[in-house]
Amino acid sequence: MPLPQTEVPGRLQAELMSRGLRMTHQRRTILSVVETAKQHLDASQILRQARRLDPGIDRVTVYRTLGLLKRHGLIDELDLMHMQGEKHFYERRPQRDHIHMACLRCGKIAEFESDLFDRLKGQIQRECRFHIVVSRLEVGGYCAECRASN
């Protein structure tokens, strides 16, 4: 049993169950990893974390579960400017979208919420008559520390 039964189901798990999807041990484990992540994780990091809870989990199950969560709009997929390889990163979809800033020197990722961003998405929906399902704004550049220290 990977998770103690006392574990509260978590929002992701509750959301998937309410949509009538089967809840397996593997899914519960992967969901808990995604849900409690403190940073953006790629698929292999999610696999490693999941295996600490349930060593038998296969990477194909991680990919399939990430695909499921994506299709249901429960997580967002990020590129983070593909600074090291072509891998993708994941995070729980937040209540309010945010912008990702990737420092090209130190690699740090910062997040930023902005009313202007919300207004811009509103403008796109209105003026382009385009119904937005998912949006991703990523910028690459240099953070304050790196600009100062060089």
* Chain positions contacting a second copy, by CB under 8 A: 77, 79, 81-82, 86, 99, 101, 103-104, 110, 112, 114, 116-117, 119-121, 123-124, 127-144, 147
Q: State the residue number with the nearest CB to Mn ion.
A: 79
Closest approach, Cβ 99 to a second copy, in A, equals 7
Residue (of 67, 59, 58) closest to 16 by Cα position? 67
Within 81-140, the residues that bind Mn ion by CB under 5 A are 91, 111
Q: How far is CA 24 from CA 5, 18, 30, 57, 137, in A?
A: 14, 14, 10, 11, 34
Distance CA 96, CA 23 (A): 27
Contacted by 85, from Mn ion, a second copy, DNA, none: CB < 5 to 8 Å by type: DNA
Say whether 149 sits in a helix, a strand or coil: coil
Residue recorded with tokens 């990919």: 63
Contacted by 144, from a second copy, DNA, Zn ion, none: CB < 5 to 8 Å by type: a second copy
109 makes contact with Zn ion (CB under 5 A): no
The one among 37, 41, 99, 143 contacting Zn ion by CB under 5 A: 143
Q: How far is CA 29 from CA 17, 46, 59, 84, 116, in A?
A: 14, 10, 13, 27, 37
Closest approach, Cβ 31 to DNA, in A, equals 10
